[in-house]
């Protein structure tokens, strides 16, 4: 019985060593310095400046936890549409008081309302 266990154990241990030995003998990986990103690429991907106004700080603090603040600039909605968006965001986990949501709504409608 012991001989049978040894006959099974030897191939298993051999296979294990064949897998682990090359990994253990790999040369130490040296970190490479970070590549410099061209400033034009950084500028293209940087968030656009948001208009100043009441509610901006609340909007940035609450909304940027989950997504870029650039999103509203491309979505010109009326008050009802922004209200529905804020309800949806709250349902998805946005954490803000009713007063803060009202500040955000006014900021969005004022700065990202329907195009005239």
Task: List pLDDT tens digits, range 40-51.
Answer: 444 444 456 899
**Does the structure show a pLDDT above 60 at 93?**
yes
- Is the whole-model pTM more than 0.75? no
| C-alpha dihedral sign at 99, 102, 103, 104 | positive
Number of H helices, E strands in the chain: 5, 0
CATH code, residues 56-112: 1.10.760
Q: Which of 63, 48, 66 lies closest to 101 in space, CA to CA?
A: 63
* Residue 3 CA: distances (Å) to CA of 7, 29, 60: 6, 42, 71
**Does the structure show a pLDDT above 70 at 54?**
yes
Domain boundaries, the chain: 56-112
Q: Which two tokens stand for residue 47?
A: 């968030």
Q: What pLDDT score was predicted for residue 59?
A: 95
**Does the structure show a pLDDT above 60 at 32?**
no
Q: Report the alpha-carbon distance of residue 72 to residue 23 in Å, rounded.
A: 49
């Amino acid at each position: 019985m012991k001989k049978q266990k040894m006959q099974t154990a030897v191939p298993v241990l051999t296979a294990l060593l064949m897998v682990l030995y090359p990994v253990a003998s790999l040369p130490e990986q040296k970190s490479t310095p970070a590549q410099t990103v061209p400033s034009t690429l950084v500028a293209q991907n940087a968030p656009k400046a948001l208009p100043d106004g009441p509610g901006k700080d609340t909007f940035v603090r609450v909304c940027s936890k989950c997504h870029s603040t650039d999103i509203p600039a491309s979505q010109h909605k009326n008050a009802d549409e922004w209200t529905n968006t804020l309800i949806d965001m709250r349902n998805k986990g946005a954490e803000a008081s009713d007063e803060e949501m009202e500040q955000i709504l006014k900021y969005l409608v004022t700065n990202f309302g329907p195009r005239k």
